[in-house]
Amino acid sequence: QVQLVESGGGLVQAGGSLRLSCAASGRTFSSSAMAWFRQAPGKEREIVAGMSRSDINTYYSDSVKGRFTISRDNAKNTVYLQMNSLKPEDTAVYYCAVVPRRVGVPLLPVLYEHWGQGTQVTVSS
């Protein structure tokens, strides 16, 4: 069973930076597609960034492209989301998600098998 634990959320002023971490247990980490999603109050969960199992492909939503960077350290079973130039509209609960043995970067939440508990990111204006 894969377990994911996020950390690094918090309160930051607009223009600031945060780095989220997601530590994974289990042996399928290196062969899994990984992604970060977010969900703001009253809105659907949306993908922010993702990385394929081979690290060949990455995906960023248009709203974060150029500001956020996804990366992972297979030796530490950890995926990161570096968030720079944060905006108030980035405020949401951020979740990491994993799906083993999937090709590419799935964009829909329903395609992911394992989820973390979420970490709150609040950006003040």
The string of pLDDT tens digits covering residues 8-39 is: 999 999 999 999 999 998 766 778 899 999 99
96 neighbors 6 (Cβ within 8 angstroms): yes
Tokens of 78: 């950890």
Distance CA(20)–CA(11), nearest Å, equals 12
Residues sharing a CB contact under 8 Å with residue 66, sequence separation 6 or more, in sequence order: none
pLDDT at 56: 81
Q: Please tell me the predicted confidence (pLDDT) of residue 63.
A: 97
Is a pLDDT exceeding 90 seen at residue 109? yes
pLDDT at 28: 67
Neighbours of 50 (CB within 10 A): 24
Asked if residues 120 and 41 have their Cβ atoms less than 8 Å apart, the reply is no
| H/E stretch holding 4 | strand 4-7
Mean pLDDT of 92-111: 92
**Share of residues in the chain with pLDDT > 90 (%):** 82
Token pair 């992972």 in the structure block, residue: 72
Residue found under tokens 């199992």: 53
51-85 pLDDT, tens digit each: 998 778 999 999 999 999 999 998 899 999 999 99
